[in-house]
Structure 1
């Protein structure tokens, strides 16, 4: 093999996601009561939460907002030097916003946007979760006891964004930050309609999908992981009994091969729950899997469980009032 581009390993992982909610108390209740997540801290208009196998101070930040949507996505670098290298690359792209002092749970961070306007940040210094004595577990490789409320999710998995130009934003993430293309959807003209990219062995740490509304910077979903398919049936029953809107699932995706469930939290944001890991990638010369849109409805979006509803492809937050009425009861 020749002329292979030297890979960039400066981004280590998805660290946390901030979502905006016009109903913050109800949103927090959804994540704590039903998904078993725990509050790390409350500050101003924001609540910081984590799942029981998340090692950091938080992986989700819920902030009160006029509309549902994305606040920002945060990535941790692999070292302080890696942070400096990626900041320089972002500055060269013209999409840098500048440094912030930090936030609860992490030190200074460099903020930037994708070409589509999604706010992101990079940081190195993070605070680890400090468990109270009564919540310590004998399982020494787990941060705390398994929660006894709801059907507890185990860890943050990935985030999915909608973009007016999905191909451009994905390419930016690959060229500037070192993400690697795992799977992609294209139409007959070769236009990129969706990319699943990662900096880890996961099939995706982030997906970027075409927004048919042509709107910039919308949010599709945040995903938390169970690892056990039965948990999806358990949480689906619990949510249905409590009037939480289930958009689709449990189903098995073709793209990523993951067992999935999609729900809307009370503030209007979509949340995906994974019942297994799908597949993992260890091949350093992985050849991206490319789907043509004509194959997606029957094989790509769902391999088992029937097609996803139209709302999956068109609904994002913030959502126009007409779209909210159409897709959310």
Structure 2
């Protein structure tokens, strides 16, 4: 007899991304990515894709370094939030309630086993477009901006983790996420896992951290409507002098059509048509990729670029123990952007 699935988490709500170059990063997300500012509070600017239903999906926060501030998921109901909070309190990794955030009600914060800060909330502010941004169709959140890449919505994120399996089991046990695909090396080590709480094939992924450093961030991903839109995005990035790390191409894992760039603060950003593939089966069995299969590279044979395994944020400490600030100039100096 199978346990009743936990369906208490509704979807990924927003990410807080830290940047040591706040003005440059803001221009990137507004002018190049085509996002819209919803408000400001403290050191943060709150931004949205044109079809995000909530007030914002990206909290861009000025900081001394880059990386992930926190990731936030919306619960399915107030009762669902209470159930998950009770479970998380038993995990030993709970931090407690956090109030006063822009655009949503009280959030319960906790750490995953790798140290990333995660938040779970229910009460939220639905976006109401001002007259100048009101769409022609009432079932659309906001007028299409016609600016830059025109990202539609937040899709997923990827963190780095020292122990991928431990983190996967944590999210499965305490939050009810389902594992759709994972990578298992020849020695049994899990090198990647993709989890979902929706009918999307994944809402977030964790991949192995190559340096043994906890709490690092790999990328944030925004959805576009089609492969053609991603090809056009490549031209937009080219025209704006944005460093393209890899792509456009198609991942083997999850079949996501992808394009990766670095924003001015040093964080990796992806545009993708990731939501095109759905997992509808309630009894889905995870796809397990072997080490030999992953050595073949991406779906059409493109070898995975080395920086995809080594670059994350915040940057690694240097040999003196001081943290390096990784922006586009620093990456170019290291040879990654050459």
Provide the TM-score with structure 1 as the length reference. Answer: 0.96
Paired residues, number:
325
Does the 8 Å CA contact 1:315/1:327 hold for their aligned counterparts?
Answer: no
Give the one of 159, 177, 190 matched to 2:188.
190
- Rounded to whole Å, the distance in 2 between the matches of 1:40 and 1:88 is 32
Task: Work out whether residues 251 and 305 of structure 1, in 8 Å CA contact, stay in contact via their aligned partners in 2.
Answer: no
The correspondence for 1:312, drawn from 284, 308, 313, is 308
Query: Runs ≥4 in structure 1, deviation > 2 angstroms?
Result: 275-278, 320-329
What TM-score, normalized to structure 2? Answer: 0.93
C-alpha spacing 1:150/1:58, structure 2 compared with 1 (3 Å): same
Match of 2:336 in 1: 327
Unaligned runs of 5+ in 1: none
Q: Which residue of 1 aligns with 2:39?
A: 41
| Contact in 1 for aligned 2:181/2:288 (Cα 8 Å) | yes
Per the alignment, residue 322 of structure 2 pairs with none
1:114 to 105, 112, 115: 112
Q: Give 3-state SS (helix, strand or coil) of 1:31's partner.
A: helix
Give CA deviations for 1:214-254 in whole Å, capped at 9, x if unaligned: 11010000100002111112111121222211100000011
Partners of 1:137 and 1:241 lie apart in 2 by: 28
Root mean square deviation, CA, Å: 1.4
Partner SS state of residue 88, structure 1: helix
Cα distance change, pair 135–305 in 1 and its aligned pair in 2 (3 A): farther
Asked if residue 97 in structure 1 is aligned to residue 95 in structure 2, the reply is yes
Unaligned runs of 5+ in 2: 319-325
Distance 1:178-1:276 versus aligned 2 partners, 3 A rule: closer
Distance 1:176 1:34 in 2: 38
Determine whether 1:85 maps to 2:83: yes
Residues 270-318 of structure 1 show CA distances to partners (whole Å, capped at 9, x for unaligned) of: 01110353421000000100001221132xx510261120111121101
CA contact (8 A) 2:46 2:57 kept: yes
- Which residue of the partner structure matches residue 68 of structure 1? 66
- Once residues 326 and 97 of structure 1 are traced to their aligned partners in structure 2, the CA distance between those partners, rounded to angstroms, is 39
